[in-house]
């Protein structure tokens, strides 16, 4: 069977790796990125480069977006030159960005009005997982649409979990990332106490990652700290954005995420100190808050 034609919108840290996976598996691919420089390597690899999201989506059977935030998603989908204006009836639209539930439901409604199928399908994983096709897709939408997306999910990810109706994938991603953010912020504060007590950082971190606290995030942050590697696999400011979306989602449901709010404050302090474009593990560089006696 011939493979469906795919359009990919957004070729950043995650989107670039995902789009390369599609090319490597011989999907007919059209790409769009606001910065056209990022599109050039895809042209040499055989992808068609579109000048607008509308042009990119025209004629595609599947359109996938992976962009930074709600505003960027609105920018690629809506308007005269947006992907929705070019999307064919019954095409499958997949939003894989980490976005707010409010916007996802609005986008799903606009897709339905165009006669298109829609999935919210954010992912877990970072840059190396995207490049290796080892992402986990958390999907909201109807079963038939999930089945139609299987060919692309299978080459970009190691697993797909259908969580329920539209918005389910987005909610789960916000839960996932606020828990990750809380853990990363806790290591930031732990290092402040370790340093203040003149403990050996290396030995202290080895105890933490080798014991009960040693989750995947704690290990990843500790490894980055030990290597002094700030190259972004996932930018610190995007983790802060995701936590702010989770807080808004919880507030809409009359729930207070107190640990998420405290962790977000640590991330915002790191951003104010100039670490926003570094890997999220650079939250450990945030200045400690001193107690008032």
pLDDT digits (tens, 9 = 90+) for 3-58: 999 999 999 999 999 999 999 999 999 999 999 999 999 999 999 999 999 999 99
Can you give the pLDDT at residue 229? 96
Is 6-166 CATH 3.40.50.720? yes
Would the CATH topology of 6-166 be identical to that of 171-285?
no
Q: Give dist(CA 271, CA 32) in Å, integer.
A: 29
Q: Token match 């590697």: residue?
A: 229
Q: Give dist(CA 292, CA 289) in Å, integer.
A: 9
Q: What is the DSSP letter of 46?
A: T
What is the pTM assigned to this prediction? 0.96
For the chain, domain boundaries: 6-166, 171-285
Q: Token match 């969580």: residue?
A: 163
- Which fold is adopted by the domain 171-285? 1.10.1040
Pick the catalytic residue: 102, 150, 173, 203? 173
Can you give the pLDDT at residue 292? 73
Can you give the pLDDT at residue 293? 61
| Three-class DSSP labels, 138-166 | EEECCHHHHHHHHHHHHHHEEEEEEEECC
173 noted as active-site residue? yes
Q: How many CA atoms lie less than 13 Å away from 93 in the CB half-sphere?
A: 33
pLDDT by residue, tens only, the chain of 293 residues: 699 999 999 999 999 999 999 999 999 999 999 999 999 999 999 999 999 999 999 999 999 999 999 999 999 999 999 999 999 999 999 999 999 999 999 999 999 999 999 999 999 999 999 999 999 999 999 999 999 999 999 999 999 999 999 999 999 999 999 999 999 999 999 999 999 999 999 999 999 999 999 999 999 999 999 999 999 999 999 999 999 999 999 999 999 999 999 999 999 999 999 999 999 999 999 999 998 76
Q: Give dist(CA 21, CA 183) in Å, integer.
A: 30
């Amino acid at each position: 069977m011939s493979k469906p034609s795919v359009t990919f919108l957004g070729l950043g840290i995650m989107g670039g790796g995902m789009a390369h996976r599609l090319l490597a598996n011989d999907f007919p691919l059209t790409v769009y990125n606001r910065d056209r420089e990022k599109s050039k390597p895809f042209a040499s690899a055989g992808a068609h480069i579109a000048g607008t999201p509308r042009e990119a989506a025209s004629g595609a059977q599947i359109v996938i977006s992976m962009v930074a935030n709600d505003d960027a998603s609105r920018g690629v989908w809506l308007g005269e030159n947006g992907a929705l204006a070019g999307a064919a009836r019954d095409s499958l639209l997949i939003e894989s960005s980490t976005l707010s539930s409010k916007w996802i439901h609005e986008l799903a409604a606009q897709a339905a009005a165009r006669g298109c199928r829609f999935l919210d399908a954010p992912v877990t994983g970072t840059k190396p997982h995207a490049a290796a096709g080892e992402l986990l897709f958390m999907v909201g939408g109807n079963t038939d649409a999930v089945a139609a997306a299987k060919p692309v999910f299978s080459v970009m990810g190691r697993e797909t979990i259908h969580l329920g109706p539209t918005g389910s994938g987005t909610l789960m991603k916000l839960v996932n990332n606020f828990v990750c953010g809380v853990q990363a912020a806790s290591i930031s504060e732990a290092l402040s106490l370790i340093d203040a007590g003149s403990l050996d950082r290396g030995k202290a971190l080895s105890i933490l990652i080798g014991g009960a606290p040693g989750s995947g995030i704690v290990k990843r942050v500790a490894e980055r700290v030990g290597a002094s590697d700030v190259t972004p696999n996932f930018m610190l400011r995007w983790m802060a954005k995701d936590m702010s979306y989770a807080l808004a989602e919880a507030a809409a449901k009359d729930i207070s995420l107190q640990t998420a709010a405290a962790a977000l404050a640590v991330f915002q302090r790191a951003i104010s100190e100039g670490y926003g474009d570094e890997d999220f593990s650079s939250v450990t560089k945030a200045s400690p808050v001193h107690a008032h006696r």
